[in-house]
Structure 1
Amino acid sequence: MYAIVEIAGQQFKVAKDQKVFVHRLASEEGDKVSFDNVLLLDNDGDVTIGAPAIDGAAVEAKVIKHLKGDKVIVFKKKRRKGFRKKNGHRQSLTEIVIENIVGSGAKKAAPKKKAAPKKEEAAVEAKPAAEKAAPKKKAASKKGDDLKKIEGIGPKAAEALVNAGVDTFAKLAKKSADQVKEILTEASSTLAHLDPGTWAEQADLAANDKWDELKELQDQLNGGK
């Protein structure tokens, strides 16, 4: 029996007792972990495909140790600028062993709940046009900064920060790397491997409209690190 499961943003084909190296997890060594984003199960030829994930299926594992991968050389050069920079990078990894694969059938589509929205829509239609306009203005006032301008922050990470109330550069600048890491880890295991070490510094420059200094800093970074 084997499964295809998503762990920390990567997809793996796993079987029982198999050892796998994944992006660094927040769990401690010896902890039990479970991954429920199972995309496919093969039980002796009986294949179940998720839609997109399989309802009730999970891959249970144990954290063996945390380590770093082989060194990768990162070389940057700017034409006609005399700029050259050479750095080494070692990816933070976690070694886990698969202890069990649990499956309970293909995921069914969630039941549609249209009855309540219809009542709400009818109530909205009955309201005067002036009452309808008020919520639209309120929604527009909640718009924050584009956090994706910070190197290392993608759409999913930006969404997680906004959901946690960190929707402006100024708010992000006041958060420590550990606080941001906690927000990302709680939002999704696929974001746990991100390194927010320089995000506060970048956000402070953006909040103060120091875009030239931010650009110089980002030119020296690699994925926000």
Structure 2
Amino acid sequence: MYAVIKTGGKQYRIATGEKLKIEQIPAEIGQEITLDEVLSVGEGDQIKIGTPHVDGAVIKATVLAHGRHDKVKIFKMRRRKHYQKRQGHRQNYTEIRIESITA
């Protein structure tokens, strides 16, 4: 069974037992969370598509860790104007493991 969820402004295709890095959420390590913005649920040839969410579908997940992604380097330059700007960014994330998908 798989599902498509929306969290942190992004959509993810998930299955039971997968590990996933999502946008940071305020939860303790080891805490069980529920993700209720389920856009579709499928198993084999059957698929349920929500309008916009599937009614009664709930994803249970466990928080494994919090961390920061690798640095993204931003470099801006205007040629012949003696302008250069360097900047970096590291996005926070929460790593979760999908425990169950209920449709």
State the aligned residue count: 103
In structure 1, give the amino acid aligned to 2:71. Answer: K
Report the TM-score, using the length of structure 1 for normalisation.
0.43
Structure 2 gap ranges (5+) = none
Spell out the pairing of 1:12-91 with structure 2 (5 A cutoff).
12-91=12-91
**Deviation of 1:79 (Å):** 4.6
Q: Spell out structure 1 runs of 4+ moving beyond 4 A.
A: none
- The alpha-carbon distance between structure 1 residues 80 and 21, as it changes in their structure 2 partners (threshold 3 A), is same
Higher relative contact order (CA 8 A, sep 6+): 2
2: CA distance, partners of 1:99 / 1:75: 41
Q: CA deviation at 1:9?
A: 1.2
Alignment of 1:34-183 (within 5 A): 34-103=34-103
In the alignment, structure 1 residue 7 sits paired with structure 2 residue 18:
no
Residue deviations 1:96-148, cap 9 Å, x none? Answer: 00001111xxxxxxxxxxxxxxxxxxxxxxxxxxxxxxxxxxxxxxxxxxxxx
Look up the SS of the partner of 1:70 in the other structure: coil
Mark the structure with the bigger radius of gyration: 1
Flag the structure with higher helix content: 1
Which one-letter code corresponds to 1:8 in the other structure?
G
Displacement, 1:30?
Answer: 1.4
1:61-112 per-residue CA deviation (whole Å, 9 max, x = no partner) reads: 1110011111211112235542211122221111100001111xxxxxxxxx
User: Residue 73 of structure 1: SS of its match in structure 2?
Assistant: strand
Is there any run of 5+ residues in structure 1 with no aligned partner, and where? Answer: 104-225
Task: Provide the identity percentage.
Answer: 39
Question: For the residues of structure 2 that align with 1:98 and 1:8, how far apart are their CA atoms?
Answer: 16
Structure having the higher strand fraction is 2
The RMSD of aligned alpha carbons is: 1.4
